[in-house]
Amino acid sequence: MGQNLVEKLISSHLVEGEAVAGSQIAIRIDQTLLQDALGTMACLQFEAMGLTKPQTELSVLYVDHNTLQTGFENADDHLFLQTFCKRYGLYFSRPGNGICHQVHLERFGRPGRSLLGSDSHTPTGGGLGMLAIGAGGLDVAVAMGTGSYRLTMPGVIRVLLKGRLQDGCAAKDIILEVLRRLTVKGGVGYAVEYAGEGVETLSVYERATITNMGAELGATCSVFPSDAQTLRFLQAQGREDQYIPLTADEDARYAKTIAIDLSALEPLVAAPHSPDNVKPVSELSHIKVDQVCIGSCTNSSYADLMRAAHVLKGRQIHPGVSLTISPGSRQVLTALAENGALAHMIQAGARILECTCGPCIGVGQAPKSAGVSLRTFNRNFERRSGTADAQVYLSSVETAVATALRGTITSLQDICPTPQIDLPQRFVVSDNLLIYPDPDPETEIVRGTNIKPFPMFEDMPGNLQGKVLIVTGDDVTTDHIMPGGADVMRYRSNIPHLSQFCLVRCDPDFPETAKKYGGGIIVGGENYGQGSSREHAALAPVYLGVRAVIAKSFSRIHKANLINSGIFPLEFANPADYNSVKKLDDVSIPDLLSKVEQGLPLEAQIGGNTVPLKLSVTPWEQQVLLAGGMVRFIKNHG
């Protein structure tokens, strides 16, 4: 029996276990990616674990999230990160060089290589034939220091693409269709592999859009073959020597297959407040839009922005619309400036932003009160934009630029034909904002007053007791647990201060409640912790004394982050028991540690009721939990 592409990539990196779905494995990590919002804490954790140098082929730290310098905090973090990279030998991508996933695709991504990144959208690299996986910063710090990463071998969903996209449709519509079918929970426990003749029609940029938003499925990773399109992209980047062909065997097997006829797709939009709330543009054409934002790691490539510039040339945006454009990298911005496309955007009325994440993470460009914003981003969670009552829609660049011109949600088909963009045979490559590794162990790491040491939390008691501090609903995101935005993100290296924002979007009194009762237990619904890989959504709760979360189910990355932080991710054995739990119920889980160690059944007393629980973890994860978290485990066991 042949192998699918995911199995080939994992088998070629396997260092422990067997590549059988559902089994515990460890894989060799070739590259790691850190970004400043999570990387600062990951660097502090790297030091706390006593690790000494990267064991990878290549490790890069990008500054792309916290670039709005309204105070000293972000600038202090940038200097800390730069001096850390100098001491330990990492590449350092300076502020303004671009969004981590776009820059990594251009300068470092290689087919056949493995990449672990402290950002949930790291699977972007799968568009280049990489095994690219998002994880919490602590997992990346461990992988950087040890060269390996442990995970559960995913099953593989094949998405069979047939035909060719029609005029007005884009790669974004493909992934929105996949989300419409599978939902934000449908990829949990799976990797997604794209195949079929339709794959050949998609450039690496288009493939990267699709693999980027595979994170919204909850999937471990998404991957495309490495083929003629891959070679063409690498040639344009001056890296054709790194090309290797990769494809699935003809007799490969899959857990499931879904087929999409590209010629039958119509332009799609994700309506508020979830990426899987997908509707045809034709059903939403009555909706007036106040703001259009083009960019993010999903749709900020040269090809994306050239299409926008062609449509905007000689036209004016609607007087009731604010249009912002964020180039994904300095390379993209330079190319647009040199070929005149940037002038077309500016003359049409667009506002050109820095090459950063920006509005996607709520840093700048918050819509007006109750405003409608159409964005080419990957997430439209409630409040993520920075405006509590904003209505945020997600679309392709084609639909976004048409909407900016018309003032209502509009398909590009109603404005003009889709421009055909020819990629340069060679991009002008400038790495002048990239500092190459030159490790010097004598380098002093500069620590500003906002940078606090990684907190070593108290040991887990053998008998867990406490109050239910909050009961959340289904699909609570890490944006709910630990908000983004400029006011919060600048404290990513300061857990004591950051904890004041924990879960305030679900309950404004949560931090004070946790302090009043000396910690306790969080109770959640389905898919608790979906969204970003930000491990601060676990670190802030444990700082407030939370030592267990009981939920119907967990998202993959957040569950791992809870384990790494020493918080037990417990599930209701009978999900209906969730309905009987109330805030401030007393909870007791006797002999928790000894029962976990012996593999015995777990149950809790909650509000006078006996509630059976389950702990679905691997033997490795069990050891980490019993040690009190990953930092303690690595310090004690190496």
What digits encode the pLDDT tens for the residues 142-201? 999 999 999 999 999 999 999 999 999 999 999 999 999 999 999 999 999 999 999 999
Q: Tokens for 523, please give them.
A: 């109770």
- Which residues on neighbouring strands pair with residue 161, listed in sequence order? 260
Assess whether 556 carries a catalytic annotation.
Answer: no
Whole-number Å distance between alpha carbons of 334 and 336: 5
Assess whether 180 carries a catalytic annotation.
Answer: no
In Å, how far from its chain's centre is CA 93? Answer: 19
Q: Tokens for 319, please give them.
A: 């007087």
CA 305, 310, 314, 316 torsion-angle sign:
negative
Which of the residues 64, 76, 290, 585 is marked catalytic? 64
Average pLDDT over all residues of the chain: 94
The domains of the chain, with CATH numbers, are 5-264 (3.30.499.10), 268-414 (3.30.499.10), 464-637 (3.20.19.10)
Q: How far is CA 14 from CA 145, 447, 549, in A?
A: 17, 38, 32
Which of the residues 104, 110, 273, 534 is marked catalytic? 534
Q: Tokens for 470, please give them.
A: 């909050």
The pLDDT value given to residue 522: 97
Which H/E stretch holds residue 464? strand 464-471
The contacts of residue 430 (CB under 8 Å, 6+ apart) are: 330, 331, 334
Q: Tokens for 70, please give them.
A: 């309204």
Assess whether 375 carries a catalytic annotation.
Answer: no
Whole-number Å distance between alpha carbons of 40 and 449: 14
Assess whether 326 carries a catalytic annotation.
Answer: no
User: Shortest CA distance to 556 belongs to which of 616, 513, 498, 637?
Assistant: 616
**Residue 638 pLDDT class (50, 70, 90 cuts):** low
Which of the residues 329, 411, 532, 533 is marked catalytic? 532
Q: How far is CA 213 from CA 152, 165, 176, 383, in A?
A: 21, 18, 8, 19
**Residue 83 pLDDT class (50, 70, 90 cuts):** very high
The pLDDT value given to residue 40: 87
Q: What's the mean pLDDT in 433-449? A: 92
Which range, of 49-53, 202-206, 554-558, 588-592, averages the lowest pLDDT? Answer: 49-53
Whole-number Å distance between alpha carbons of 124 and 223: 9
The pLDDT value given to residue 587: 96
Which of the residues 13, 65, 107, 330 is marked catalytic? 65
Question: Strand 24-28 relative to strand 14-16: parallel, antiparallel, unpaired?
Answer: antiparallel
Residue spans of alpha helices (H) in 56-188: 72-88, 100-107, 137-146, 171-182
In the chain, % of residues over pLDDT 90? 82
What pTM was computed for the model?
A: 0.92
Phi, psi of 372 (to 5 degrees): -105, 125
In the chain, % of residues over pLDDT 70? 99
Which of the residues 119, 276, 290, 479 is marked catalytic? 119
In 163-287, at which residue ranges do the beta strands (DSSP E only) sit?
A: 190-195, 222-223, 256-261, 268-270, 278-280
